[in-house]
Amino acid sequence: MTENILSNIPTTLPEELTTVLQEGNGVRIERIVSTGHRSPDGFWYDQSEHEWVMVLQGAARLQFGHHVVELVMGDSINIPAHQKHRVEWTSPDEPTV
């Protein structure tokens, strides 16, 4: 009945791992695990969906234009649809969830 989001986290992954935890009514809740992954140079996400992100473990740096935002445990950020962004860095030391 419950699901622990910090369990069953691979320590190395060929690419970012996204798992859908819940979906419906126009909402999707995902767990994203990165083990040092970053967006390719020059790649920008341009999504039709709004995205609200929270870091549960590890650390990440998101780039918005020339601005870089660092996220550590507990940090959240709201990314409105079509706000271009990329994952500039994720921690190589532990999986970032």
Residue 77 in contact with its own copies, rule: CB under 8 A: yes
Tell me, by CB under 8 A, how many residues bind its own copies.
27
Residue 24 in contact with its own copies, rule: CB under 8 A: yes
Q: Are 10 and 33 in contact (CB under 8 A)?
A: yes
What is the C-alpha to C-alpha distance for residues 33 and 18, in angstroms, rounded to an integer? 6
Residue 24 main-chain phi, psi, to 5 deg: 150, 160
Q: Are 72 and 89 in contact (CB under 8 A)?
A: no
Which residue of 10, 21, 44, 84 would you call a contact of its own copies, by CB under 8 A? 21
Q: 32 or 40, CB closer to its own copies?
A: 32
Residue 11 in contact with its own copies, rule: CB under 8 A: no
What is the C-alpha to C-alpha distance for residues 57 and 44, in angstroms, rounded to an integer? 24
Q: Could you list the residues that contact its own copies (CB under 8 A)?
A: 1-7, 21-22, 24-27, 29, 50, 52, 54, 56, 69, 71-78
